Amino acid sequence: MNKWYEKTGEQGDVIVSTRIRLARNLMNDPFPCKLQKDGMLKVDKAVKDAVIHGNSAISNQFEYIDMGALSQTEAVSLVERHLVSPEFVSEREGRGLLLMNDESVSIMINEEDHLRIQVMQQGMALEEAYRMADRLDTLLDERLKFAFDDRLGYLTQCPTNLGTGMRASLMLHLPALQDSGAMDRIAGNLSKLGLTIRGIYGEGTQPKGALYQLSNQVTLGLSEEAAISNLRDIALQLVSQERAARESISRHLETQDAIGRSLGILLNARLLNNDEFMKLISNVRLGISMGIIDNISYDQISALMIEAQPATLMKNVGKTMTPPERDKRRAELVKERLS
């Protein structure tokens, strides 16, 4: 079965993927930070049973993963595949993960909240992703009884999630805006509009791979639909700005040169560290959108960006590797996937 990131999405030249995340808590249990081991296991079992043994249409599409039983490599690979948060794997005892076959849906159990329901899709797919998350939410609410206050909405451990408990995010590829030095100004403007933008791989103004996560900040006093609509409108403005910036640099021979060289190095290197890989693959992605590279697809890039991350690389080879061994394997993988 293809993974969700192996399909091409809308506005794929700039919008890599969409993520909807709902924070939910059980009505009758303390927040995870207040739970001892047995309390965590009780919540874990309740959520797991509700999904796996729920006898619903989706039950057999989910796999349960006991986080405490995972190796460090397997756990970090989940982070690299954007299925769980880094915090979730830092302390794994008593935590569980429910994962849909195609990895488009994951439910973290006992992260900051009892449940973090996450739905991911390629490209711009806020409505579809939200519909899926909402369906799951409804299904689980029937069985688990979520903590909900008529005035405040869904109750969460951190007040920043209170209300809808929803964080909608878009992963954006913004190489041209990044190169133009516009990201600081853009980030400042977005925060005034109730949105945040931050680097996915590395903070600051030059995140690796020019990949950014744009998310809604406000969860209180705003419906899910309104938050999503706001995010989409602003994202489409960013898409326009990025496209205009690309249009302007695409005529420069220096741009075409950098893109050509990046592909040439990716196809011919024998050693590739992750930083260099991210820089080069970002250039190749840009080259596809400019029509300079025409035999590689966005979904190949998305899949490779995940497969080439250190822990996922080791997980797929089935052994731990030193950094130089990984650099060698990464170069081999890139050649296999892009040739």
Tokens of 78: 């989940």
Shortest distance, position 269 Cβ to a copy of itself, whole Å? 5
Instruction: Please say which residue, 78 or 331, places its beta carbon nearer to a copy of itself.
Output: 331
How many residues interact with a copy of itself (rule CB under 8 A)? Answer: 18
When asked if residue 10 is in the footprint of a copy of itself (CB under 8 A), the reply is no
- b/e code 46-85 from CB counts within 10 Å (16+ = b): bbbebbbebebeeeebbebbebeebeebbbbbbbbbbbbb
Our CA dihedral for 86, 88, 93, 94, rounded to 10 degrees, sits at: -170
Among residues 253, 291, 295, 318, which is the contact residue for a copy of itself, using CB under 8 A?
253
| Antiparallel, parallel or unpaired: β 166-173 and 153-154 | unpaired
**Where in 307-336 is the site for a copy of itself (CB under 8 A)?**
324, 328, 331
Query: Considering only residues 101, 215, 237, 256, which one is a binding residue for a copy of itself as defined by CB under 8 A?
Result: 256
Residue among 108, 110, 113, 132 nearest 121 (CA): 132
Phi, psi of 270 (to 5 degrees): -110, -10
Do residues 130 and 228 touch, judged by C-beta distance below 8 A?
yes
As a whole number of angstroms, the distance between CA 157 and CA 150 comes to: 17
Q: Which is nearer to a copy of itself, 181 or 324 (CB)?
A: 324
Shortest distance (Å) from residue 89 CB to a copy of itself: 31
Minimum CB distance to a copy of itself smaller for 166 or for 263: 263
Q: Does 270 bind a copy of itself (CB under 8 A)?
A: yes
CB nearer to a copy of itself: pick between 150 and 254: 254
Of 158 and 267, CB closest to a copy of itself? 267
Q: Choose between 155 and 308: whose C-beta lies nearer to a copy of itself.
A: 308
Radius of gyration of the CA atoms of the chain, in A: 21
Q: Which residue lies nearer to a copy of itself by CB, 210 or 334? A: 334
**Minimum distance, C-beta of residue 245 to a copy of itself, in the bound complex (Å):** 20
| Residue 267 within binding range of a copy of itself, rule CB under 8 A | yes
Report 271-290 residues binding a copy of itself (CB under 8 A).
271
Q: Give the shortest CB-254-to-a copy of itself separation in angstroms.
A: 7
H or E element in which residue 99 lies: strand 96-100
| Smallest distance from a copy of itself to CB 176, Å | 18
Decide if 74 contacts 312 (C-beta within 8 A). no
The b/e string for 233-246 (b: 16+ C-beta within 10 A; e otherwise) is: ebbeebbebbbebb
Name the phi and psi angles at 266, rounded to 5.
-60, -40
- Tell me the window of 66-74, 78-86, 124-132, 269-277 that interacts with a copy of itself (CB under 8 A): 269-277
Of 107 and 265, CB closest to a copy of itself: 265
Binder of a copy of itself out of 261, 275, 316, 320 (CB under 8 A):
261
**148 CB-contact burial (10 Å; exposed 0-12 / middle 13-18 / buried 19+):** middle
Shortest CB 301 distance to a copy of itself, Å: 17
**In the complex, which residues of this chain contact a copy of itself (CB under 8 A)?**
253-254, 256-257, 260-261, 263-271, 324, 328, 331
